[in-house]
Amino acid sequence: MGFREEYAAHVAERKALGVPPLPLTVKQTEEVIEFIKTGEYVEEMLDLLANRVSPGVDDAAYVKAAFLNEVAMQEHKVAAITPETAVTMLGTMLGGYNVKPIVNALSSTNEAVVKAAVEALSHTLLVYDAFNDVEELHKAGNAAATEVMTSWANAQWFSEKPALEEKITVTVFKVPGETNTDDLSPASEAFTRSDIPLHANSMLTAKMDNPLETIKELKEKGNIVAYVGDVVGTGSSRKSGVNSVQWHMGEDIAGVPNKRTGGVVIGGIIAPIFFATCEDSGALPLEMDVSNMDTGDVIEIYPYKGEAHKNGECIATFALRPNTITDEVRAGGRIPLIIGRGLTSKARSVLGMSASDLFLAPEQPADNGKGYTLAQKMVGKACGVAGIRPGMYCEPEMSTVGSQDTTGPMTRDEIKELAALGFNADLVMQSFCHTAAYPKPSDVTMHNTLPDFISMRSGVALRPGDGVIHSWLNRMVLPDTVGTGGDSHTRFPIGISFPGGSGIVAFAGVTGSMPLTMPESVLVRFKGELQEGITLRDLVNAIPHQAIKEGLLTVEKKGKKNIFAGRILEIEGLPQLKVEQAFELSDASAERSAAACTVRLDKEPVIEYLKSNVVLLQSMIDAGYEDHRTLARRITKMEAWLANPELMEPDADAEYAAVIEIDLDQITEPILACPNDPDDVATLSEVLASDRPKNIDEVFVGSCMTNIGHYRALGEVLKGEGAVPTRLWVCPPTKMDEKQLTQEGYYALYGAAGARTEIPGCSLCMGNQARVGDNAIVFSTSTRNFDNRLGKGAQVYLGSAELAAVCSLLGKIPTKQEYLDLTKKIVGKEADIYKYLNFNLIQDYKLA
C-alpha cells in the first residue's frame, strides 16, 4: 500500500473517532515532498505540507524547512512552489529550523524572495540567537534586515493582530458546582494527553451526559461557546484540561495542526494555575458571579466595562485581571506576548529607540513600607531585589523545573513549538512515575524517546521505576530558590515553587524564568506540642479544619470561600521538622488551591538534607544518569551553600491576608479528609458521628505524601496480625526506599498481611493505571480524593499511613481508642521508625 492509501486509511480511522489525522511524521513528510517534486497530486500534497507538519523544532519540521530552503535558494526548482512562496511557507513555522533559511533569504538577489523574507521574519518571534544575525546584516547595510529590525521595534507582530472586542457575545455551557481538571482531562486517559483532539473526546464524560453533543448544539447558535462553572479548574493536569476546553470551544492556529487557542472561561472561582494556563494559551478567563447563567443562555460580555448582560440586563460585574490580559489575548497568549515584548525591546535598543508604549504595563502596587514575608523574599532574591510585594508582576529566575510523564509529552511538544534546542533553567528534571507500573504501548515509546530529548537539552532524565518526581526533585532543590513543575504537587519544602501547565513549564525550562503576578500570603502558625498518636498528616488536615472553624473556608461549592485559593501558604512553628516531613505540609498546599507554599525550617535539618543529597546526585552521575554536567553543577552549588549555610527569614512586620493559628495541644485525634473532597475534613469522632460510610474495603499507602517512615510504621502495626481483611496496596515513593525497606524486612511483613506491593511511583494516586474496585470505600494516603479518581464511584478518605494501617486491619474507620491501642506498637520506636535516608551516612553508597 502506498503513502496516499495508507494516509487515507489513517484519516478515515481518525474520522471515525471524531478527530483530525495526526501531524505528519518525518517519513510521511519526506513522501509528501517527493510527490511535490514529481508534480503528482500537487494540490493535496501542498495542503499537507502547509498544514499537517508540526512547527518549531519537530523532526518533521526539519525536513520541511530543509526542502523549502532549497526551493527558496533556487537549489531545487519545483513547479508548484516558487522561491518566494517557499519563504512564505517557512514563515508559518513559528521558529527553529525555519529561521536561518529566512535570514539567509534577506540577502537573496531575488527581490520577491527578499520581500517574502521580510514579511515572514517580521512576524516570527522565536528567533533566539538569529537576532544577532539580523543585527549584523542591518549594521552591514542590508536594507531588508533593517526593515525587519524596524518591524520588530514597532511590534507589527502585535499591532496587526485584532484587539479584544468591546463586546463578546457567547452562548453559555455551564457545569454547575466544581469542575476539577480530572473532569476535563481524566487520568484514565492520560496516555492520550499529547494527542489533544483525541484526549478532548473524554472531557466531562464521567461527570455529565452527552457533554460534547451539547457543545455542538450550542455552537449552532453561531456564537462563541463559553465554559461556565461555579468553581473551575481545581486539581492538576491543568494544561491538558485547558487544551480540551480550547479544542471544543477555541479556534484553529494557522500552521499548527491539532491545537487551538482562544476561548472564554467564566467561573465564580477559577483555580489559580488553571487561570494562568488559560492566560498562557490565549484564552480569556473571567471570574464573576455565575448564578444567573445557565446552559443555552446568550450573554454579552463587555470586557472593558467589566459587565455581563443577559436579555439587556447586567447580571454580573467583574474586573479584568491581570490588567495586561487584553494584550495577552491579542498576542495569542501570555507566553508569546512575553517573548514578543522582549524581541521588540531588543530591536528598539539596536535602533536607538526609547521603550515602546504600545503594550500595557503591568500594574504595580505601591510600596507600603512594611517588611517582607519569607515567600516575598525568596521571589525577590530570584528577581535580584529584596522582596516582591503582592500584586507585583515579575519574572523570577527558575532554578529548578520538574516535568512528569503524563504531562511530559505535552511539555516536549511545547518545547518544540518554542523552537528550543537547550534549557536555560539551571536544572530541568523529567520523571516517569505515573506510567512505569503498567505502561501502555504509547508509554513505552515515551520511556524510550523522552529521556534523550530532555538530556540532549541539558536536562536530567530519571528512569521508569525510580519513583515519584517530587521525592527526587526535592533532593535537587537549593534553599531559598524558586522553581516550577508540571504537576500541581511540585511544592518545594526548602524553597518555593509555583506549579504550572506544560506550556509554562516548557517556557521556564527554555528561558530560565517565568511570569508571575505575586500572590498574597496566608500565614499558618503552629504552636504547642504534638500529642500522642498525632502525625504530620493530621496537621495537614488541621489546616482546613481550623480554616472552616474560622469561616475562612467552606465545603459548599456554590458561593465557596477559600482563603488559600490563589495565595501562598506560609507555614511556621515547626522549625525542627525533617525536610521530608516538611514536604507533607508543602505538598498538601495543592489541595488548598494555594499558588505556592513555604515552610520555615531551622538550618540543621536543611544542612542534613543537602549533605545527603550531594551523595545521591553524585551516585546518579556514577550510575550514568544524564545530563551529568547539570547534576555536577547542582552538586557544586549545594556544596557552596553548605560552606556558608544561611536561610532567609520573614520580617517581623510582614503582612498577610490572614493569620491562622493552630494549637497542637488541642489536636488529640486523627483528622481525615472525607469522601470526596480534600476540603471536607473531620476528626475521627466527627466522622463516626456522621452518616459517612464507616466500613473500609481497600487501603492505599503510597503517593508523594509519604516517606520511608510511613512504611516502617505501617509494617510495625501490621506485624503479627496476619492477613488483613481489606485489599491493601503498598507503593513506596522511590526505589531507594523500596531497597531499604526490603533490607529491613518490611516487605516480608507486607506479604504476611496479604498486601499488593507496587513498583515505586504514583500507583493508585493518579488513578490512570491500577484502580480500586467500583464503588469501593477507600482509605488512602494519597493527595486528593476527587470523584472517580482512584476508582469508578469510589468514596475515598485521606489521612495518615498510621491510620491507614489500622483501617486495613479493622476493615473500618476506628474509634480514637482503637487507633491509639493499635498504634502503641510504634511507641518507643519512633527514632528508628521515622529515620530518613541520609545517603552520606551509608558507607560507599551506590544508587541501586
Q: How many helices (H) and strands (E) does the chain have?
A: 33, 27
**What confidence score (pLDDT) does residue 270 get?**
94
- Average pLDDT, integer, range 716-732: 97
Q: What is the CA radius of gyration of the chain?
A: 27
Per-residue confidence at 272, pLDDT binned at 50, 70, 90? Answer: confident
Distance CA 243, CA 199 (A): 9
- Average pLDDT, integer, range 755-777: 91
- Average pLDDT, integer, range 563-582: 97
3-state DSSP of 714-765:
HHHHHCCCCCCCCEEEEECCEHHHHHHHHHCCHHHHHHHCCCEECCCCCHHH
494 or 186: whose pLDDT is higher?
494
CA angle 758, 761, 764 (to 5 degrees): 65
Residue 237 has pLDDT above 70, yes or no: no
Residue 768 has pLDDT above 90, yes or no: no
Residue 1 has pLDDT above 80, yes or no: no
847 or 121: whose pLDDT is higher?
121
Helix (H) or strand (E) holding 417: helix 408-417
**What confidence score (pLDDT) does residue 756 get?**
96
**Sequence-ordered alpha helix ranges (H) in 168-255:** 181-184, 196-200, 211-219, 238-249
Percentage of the chain lying above the pLDDT 70 cut: 100
Per-residue confidence at 557, pLDDT binned at 50, 70, 90? Answer: confident
- Average pLDDT, integer, range 720-733: 97
In one-letter notation, the amino acid at residue 355 is A
- Average pLDDT, integer, range 832-844: 94
In the numeric block, which cell numbers belong to residue 501? Answer: 501547565
Q: pLDDT tens for residues 769-817?
A: 789 999 999 999 999 888 888 999 999 999 999 999 999 999 999 999 9
The bridge status of strand 427-430 relative to strand 400-403 is parallel
Contact 219, 212 (CB under 8 A): no
- Average pLDDT, integer, range 81-88: 96
**What confidence score (pLDDT) does residue 766 get?**
80
Q: Is 214 helix (H, G, I), strand (E, B) or coil?
A: helix
Count Cα atoms within 13 angstroms, Cβ side, for 752.
Answer: 14
785 or 748: whose pLDDT is higher?
748
Residue 136 has pLDDT above 70, yes or no: yes
Per-residue confidence at 235, pLDDT binned at 50, 70, 90? Answer: confident
Residue 671 has pLDDT above 80, yes or no: yes
Name every residue whose Cβ is closer than 8 Å to that of residue 843 and which is 6 or more positions away in sequence: none
Mean pLDDT, the chain, integer: 95
In the numeric block, which cell numbers belong to residue 226? Answer: 463559553
Percentage of the chain lying above the pLDDT 90 cut: 92
CA angle 341, 342, 345 (to 5 degrees): 85
Per-residue confidence at 61, pLDDT binned at 50, 70, 90? Answer: very high
Per-residue confidence at 273, pLDDT binned at 50, 70, 90? Answer: confident
Distance CA 320, CA 301 (A): 12
- Average pLDDT, integer, range 260-281: 94
In one-letter notation, the amino acid at residue 637 is K
Prediction pTM value: 0.92
- Which is it for the CA torsion 339, 342, 348, 349, positive or negative? negative
Residue 357 has pLDDT above 70, yes or no: yes
Q: Looking at residue 790, what DSSP letter applies?
A: S
Q: Is 311 helix (H, G, I), strand (E, B) or coil?
A: coil
**What confidence score (pLDDT) does residue 187 get?**
81
Residue 336 has pLDDT above 80, yes or no: yes
